[in-house]
Structure 1
Amino acid sequence: MWDYLQHLSFWDWLALGTLLLILEVFGAGGYLLWIGVAAAGVGVITFVVPQLPWTLQFLLFGLLSVFTAVFWWHRQRSNASPSDAPGLNMRGQELIGRTFVVQEAIVGGRGKIKVGDGVWMVRGPDMPVGTPVQVLSQDGAILQVGPAP
């Protein structure tokens, strides 16, 4: 094993990089991509400098793995732009601040309001059917309501 490590060639690093990239295709979620790129990078460096000691090759591999992963993470974070539709796919968020009518009386802090063609469960002060309420917040599938202004 030590003999093999002392005679690593660029083919070994390119093979490792290729294997990691193939494994990435099967769904590693991006984790193996940058490690595979680092292995291929060490393969290129080893091709240019064939007498590079194996300890330095592994050190380069570790540093390149961390560098490529941090570089891509930083690049992804800097490219993130604010959404023009921040409430998209957050069902119920668009109801906050709107006024609706109580459909099932709020008794003991629980009741229902009609929203469009659907009914939402609500929490709030006790109110009879037909009372207008304003949605204050959302907690999962339950809306917090208060008296409409």
Structure 2
Amino acid sequence: MLMRLISELGPWSWWLLGLVLLAAELALPGVFLVWIGIGALLTGLLSILLWTMGFWVWQLQFLVFATLAVAATFAGRRFLSGGEQVTDEPLLNQRGASLVGRTATLPEPIVNGRGRIRLDDTYWPVMGPDLPTGTKVKVVSGTGRDLVVEAA
């Protein structure tokens, strides 16, 4: 039945597949099916031009489709990556790194190199030298969720 449908639609079967894949991209998250759909549409374009040629058999069409889908995927990935973007907020999603240089007073002592401080409305786990309660500390770096502090 599928082969009959493909033979009846001729080169338009690739266009149909491409449009189905593009429509599926709207329903499914991610940006992947769009590149395979573009590969199918490009194969459909070639099929319109080459359909009457004797060498344009389904095996060659499938190889061309697979090649174009992979090429479109790599081209799309390169196009969407865009490289490093310059921003006025380079530490926007690096909250620990954005706190470097801030000072705070220890609400409790740092014991065995571990403690916590309050910055704004958040308590942060800290690492640093053992210090008593009430000592002013300065954040020198952020390692993951912990802040590294030293006496200010």
Identify the TM-score tier after normalising by the shorter chain: 0.7 to 0.9
What's 1:116 paired with?
A: 120
Write out the 4+ residue segments of structure 1 that deviate beyond 6 Å after TM superposition: none
**Mapping for residues 29-44 of structure 1, pairs under 5 Å:** 29-44=30-45
Counterparts of 2:123 and 2:6 in 1: how far apart (Å)?
Answer: 71
Q: Secondary structure at the match of 2:76?
A: helix
Counterparts of 1:79 and 1:120 in 2: how far apart (Å)?
Answer: 33
Q: Secondary structure at the match of 1:20?
A: helix
**Mapping for residues 79-90 of structure 1, pairs under 5 Å:** 80-90=84-94
Aligned amino acid, residue 13 of structure 1? W
What's 1:138 paired with?
A: 142
Structure ranking higher in strand proportion: 1
Counterparts of 1:58 and 1:82 in 2: how far apart (Å)?
Answer: 42
Counterparts of 1:80 and 1:125 in 2: how far apart (Å)?
Answer: 37
Q: Which runs of 5+ in 2 are unaligned?
A: none
Q: 1:78 to 1:135 in 2, by over 3 A?
A: same
**Mapping for residues 1-149 of structure 1, pairs under 5 Å:** 7=7, 9-51=10-52, 52-78=56-82, 80-148=84-152
Relative to the length of structure 1, the TM-score reads 0.84
| 8 Å CA contact 2:15, 2:41 repeated in 1 | yes
Q: 1:125 to 1:63 in 2, by over 3 A?
A: same
Q: Which runs of 5+ in 1 are unaligned?
A: none
Q: 1:80 to 1:113 in 2, by over 3 A?
A: closer
Relative to the length of structure 2, the TM-score reads 0.82
